[in-house]
Every structure is written in C-alpha cells, then in structure tokens.
Amino acid sequence: MTTITSSLDVQLRSVSPRDAAALARLYNHGVASRLFTYVTEETTPERQFEVIDEAKLRYPFLVAVTDGQVAGYARLSPYGGTRPWHRGLGEVSIVVAPEFRGQGVGARLVSGIVDAARDAGFWKVVSLIFEPNMPSLSLFRRAGFRDVGVYERHGNLHGTWVNVVILERLILENQD
Ligand SMILES: CC(C)(COP(=O)(O)OP(=O)(O)OC[C@H]1O[C@@H](n2cnc3c(N)ncnc32)[C@H](O)[C@@H]1OP(=O)(O)O)[C@@H](O)C(=O)NCCC(=O)NCCS
C-alpha cells in the first residue's frame, strides 16, 4: 500500500453495518453541498444498511477511522454497465467529513481504494467529478488519475446544467 503522510492517525477498514448512521451523515452533507451528487433527497441509516449489503457483493467499500470516529469513506460502484467486459471497471466516490478535511484523509482513502481495487482484480477505476469541485479534481489528479475529458452540460442540478470531468486510473497489474 502506498504511504501517505497524514497529520491524523487514520486507519482504513472495510465498511460494516455499524457504520450506517455515520455514512448517512456524510452522504447528507454532500446532498446539501450540491458538490458531487444529483441526488436531492437525504438518505437514511436504513438505506445505508442496504447500500452496505449491496457493496459486500463485489465492490470494495472502505471507511477511514480516526479516534474511533468515521472520518470518511471511499467506495467503488459498477461503471459502464453489467456486461462481462465491464467487470474490471469501477467508479470511485470519496467523501470526507467537513471537520476532517485538509488533513490527508482523502489521500489515504484514494490510495486505499485503488489498492483494494487492484486486489479485487479491477483493471481501471474512474471518477466523475462536477467541474467546479476543485478539491476533488486536485485529489484525484494528485493520486495519479488522468483527465479523460469533460462531459458538457451532463446533468441538471436544481435548474443548473453541470459539466462533469471524467478521470481514470489504470491498474496495469490487472491488464495482462
Ligand atoms: C475531496 C475531498 C474528499 C478531499 O478530502 P481531504 O481529506 O480534504 O483531502 P486531503 O487532505 O487528503 O488532500 C489530498 C489532496 O487533495 C487536494 N485537496 C484537498 N482539499 C483541497 C482544497 N480545498 N483545494 C484544493 N485542493 C485540495 C490536494 O491536492 C491535496 O493534496 P496536498 O495537500 O498535497 O495539496 C473532500 O474535500 C470532500 O469530502 N469533498 C466533498 C465530497 C466530494 O466532493 N467527493 C468527490 C466526489 S466522489
């Protein structure tokens, strides 16, 4: 696993059902911020239990824990479709709680989810970022993702058209 300097003592572990309430809080910050999802409805811990169950099937889902608290999560979800040739592709999403940002948690999570994707046999991870979301674009670029391009006016969020930047990181070890 790549070593990332962090000012916090952060441990990564697989998600567990006991994280459902913390995940709902993190996700709902994102819904309110309008920074990374078209979803406008808040989620609930009950719904997060279902998400965790679904995730257990195949896609890595990590939480970052510091001092017993969930500081953030990173997960992969299906990308491109469900045909056999899509099995090596995963879309990564990462959220860090506002009070833990700027302290290396996001960098640890990116590194951890790429390692987990490699271990699970994925050959590429992709991230779709709303264009004004500079912290996320910097995070992924710094972690070795390359810009693929920009989908212009890709979705509509509360009446505003949003451009979406596509980034990818190849996992060459799984491309033999
Ligand atoms: C993007 C996000 C995950 C970054 O998490 P973080 O823990 O604050 O990031 P880190 O402290 O590990 O910083 C890692 C790198 O990210 C970039 N970054 C983080 N915050 C930044 C900011 N405010 N402005 C510019 N770059 C930033 C930098 O490149 C940084 O590296 P550096 O410190 O060496 O310059 C966090 O801001 C967040 O949760 N945002 C809302 C959710 C979201 O938009 N997720 C992405 C969509 S999937």
User: Would you say residue 150 lies in a domain?
Assistant: no
Question: Is pLDDT larger for residue 2 or for residue 94?
Answer: 94
User: Would you say residue 52 lies in a domain?
Assistant: yes
Nearest CA to ligand 1 atom 23: 135
Nearest CA to ligand 1 atom 21: 135
User: Would you say residue 50 lies in a domain?
Assistant: yes
Reported confidence tier of residue 2, pLDDT bands at 50, 70, 90: very low
Q: Give the range of the structural domain holding residue 48, as residue numbers without chain letter.
A: 11-128
Query: What distance in angstroms lies between residue 106's CA and the mean position of ligand 1's atoms?
Result: 6
> What was the pLDDT predicted at 124?
97
Query: What distance in angstroms lies between residue 57's CA and the mean position of ligand 1's atoms?
Result: 28
| Tokens found for residue 101 | 């940002």
62-66, 76-80, 157-161: least confident range: 157-161
Question: Taking CB atoms and a 6 Å cutoff, what residues make up the pocket around ligand 1?
Answer: 30, 35-36, 93-96, 101-107, 129, 133-136, 138-139, 142
User: Would you say residue 26 lies in a domain?
Assistant: yes
| Tokens found for residue 131 | 């264009």
CATH number at 96 reads: 3.40.630.30
User: Would you say residue 111 lies in a domain?
Assistant: yes
1-10, 123-132, 138-147: least confident range: 1-10
User: Would you say residue 170 lies in a domain?
Assistant: no
Query: CB-based burial of residue 163 (10 Å sphere; 0-12 exposed, 13-18 middle, 19+ buried)?
Result: middle
Reported confidence tier of residue 55, pLDDT bands at 50, 70, 90: low
User: Would you say residue 101 lies in a domain?
Assistant: yes
User: Would you say residue 161 lies in a domain?
Assistant: no
Residue 4 has pLDDT above 60, yes or no: no
Nearest CA to ligand 1 atom 1: 136
State the Cα torsion 26-144-136-78 to the nearest 10°.
Answer: -50
E strand or H helix that includes residue 116: helix 105-119
Number of domains in the chain: 1
Residue 140 has pLDDT above 80, yes or no: yes
What is the average pLDDT score of the chain? 90
